[in-house]
Structure 1
Amino acid sequence: MKQYIYILALALIFSSCSSDDTSDPSNSNPSNFSANTTDLRFDGATIEWTDAIDPDGDNVTYAIILEGQEIASGGTTLVYSFSGLEPETNYEGYVEARDGNGGTSRADFFFTTEPEVIIMNVEIEYRSWTGAGGYGIVAYFEVPAVDNAVSYFLEILDYTPDVIPSNVGRTYSWTPDDNLPQGNNVGSGASHLVEYTPGIYHANTSTSSGPLSGFSDVENYYASIVANAQLTITVGE
């Protein structure tokens, strides 16, 4: 009786092992193929790959592995887009072709995500000051500092009423490390860039000064200016 139980146990173990092994010794792996990155973003990337042909005519599906983690499988398309990634970060992984009978082949890929870019519109403002000697007034675009910013780029898109030479198309660029004029420094004229207060940048477009008798008319003109600019901020580590 004991011998019968022992033989039965062996049979069950052998049967279990056999059912778990789905690979076919005569099965051929899908052909070699290649993958490449076609689009990079600060929070993602897109990869494409060539078709893996199975010599046995099996249907091939693809799995996507990124940083050792399988994040998609069972697909038949030849493109995949990653999202939710970290900016300025190196990633590597591979696409695995599977024929459903245990045969596989793989194509490696790697990429580095772009720096984060913030794009926004800012509108024109003006500030003025008066004293015994007269008045001063300046029109400007205000840009607050952004944490981990690497660079700033501002381009004027619209400006009404405009002057000659035109303000439209004028650009300003700077980095947090630039040694900019401080405080209420308006420079010698238009296109002057200052750090008005710590962490607040002013891209000046025009300035005026004169006796107090003319201040009211000049202020009305500055108040009538309607203008906007596109601000692009590159953010890094």
Structure 2
Amino acid sequence: MKKFLFIQAIIALLLVSCSKQNPLSPEYNNPPQKFTITMLEREADTQELEWTEAVDPEGDAVSYSIELDGKILFKNLPNRKYILTSLLPDKTYTGRIIASDKKGLSVSQSFNIEVYQGQILMGTGYYSLGLMGLTNTGTISWRVGEYARSVPAVSGDVIFSGQEKVYAIKAKTGDVLWTNDLVQKENAAVLYAQNKVFITSEKKISALSAATGATLWSIPLQTTVNPSISKNILYISYREHLYAIDVNTGAIKWDFIAPASLGMAVAKDGTLYVLSAAYYQIDGEGYMYALDANTGTLKWRSKFSGQISLTTAPFVGSPVLYGNKVYFVSHNDKGYDGQFRYVYAMDAATGTVVWKKTVALVVPASGLIVDESGIYLSASSLMKLDRVTGNVIWSIEGNFMNELVLTGDKIYVSTGSASLSLNVFDAGTGNRIGNQIRSTFPYGGSPVVLKSGKAYYPPSSGMNTVN
């Protein structure tokens, strides 16, 4: 027994000695190194992410997980590019990508997903480049047709455009759903209402099926300005005539005749408002007419100073209704000459001028857009006026030669002439937001902005009148 214990003691001493001479080295492990995330295209319900490799110091394989608003959505992703789906367009998200090695050590990088800013539709005017769909960063997603001089109309995810023919286009992809050969490179105005597409072309007005493009009715009638629509009536101005047309049959309900050419009519609460020059020659006067929208009977007529342009710039001379006021912009008393224009606010019930303001606009390239906080217009300057007083809230000098579009808190407007740059401004402050949205193509029109399931149009579009 003693011999056995002695042997055990010797073995123990040998083991301790060996342990001291050759201690076991601990195995060290470091987490993967830091990486960066690039936010790619944001669509209404998706966000594409891409990130650089998170290199592991020990050379271990690295897998990735995605966390969104505190919840792990995906684990062990082998690739470094992913598209998040089922997002809400008006919601912001916070998240992070987690890079982990096989031993469980990890490093993470945070990201933010902003509210979807929408899609932008741009025509190219006389240039044979058609209608283009742009992302909110200015990337051209698709291009359809030729000579897109008019403002398109939108219903849901379908765009209706009058070019060398009438197109129905899928908004996201640019796929053509149907065409109709009514239009032949004319400045064709397009309206959508009640599952119909209304188009002016080749000295006639036509109604098409929005589903198939088939012609429902067509009447021989010209127009000098863009048509408008309210309830079941389509309003068409041709020179001194204003026609009311049944949208279902094409029958003319009534014809109002003024002393001179009429502009685009706008209806609200059963009253139709339309502007006219006093005479064909420029004499520095114009009229606002208020008509019964159903019968065409004159309710009142109000005379004002300042020439109305109806043919060369039809959106100057289109009234805007907001609250109990009607707003519009005119040339000065000398017509097209001079370095200023007039902006008016009239009482919608009586035609009484509430205020008249002189603004420094050399070229009246845009009509008005009005919201609760003010009045927006653009030409040689982009400006915002107080809706109650007409005083200038802010003004920005620049070559703003096309119509603006207001999308709640943002203004989209292009600058230049032959080759345009699209700009975005804060509607409250007038400050520019981000960089200019540019393209290599020459634009000839004004944008339509698609955002959160809604289309926002420039002032000249009759889609602003649909109710």
Structure 1 or 2: more helix by fraction: 1
Which structure is richer in relative contact order (CA contacts within 8 A, separation 6 or more)? 1
Q: TM-score, normalised by structure 1?
A: 0.49
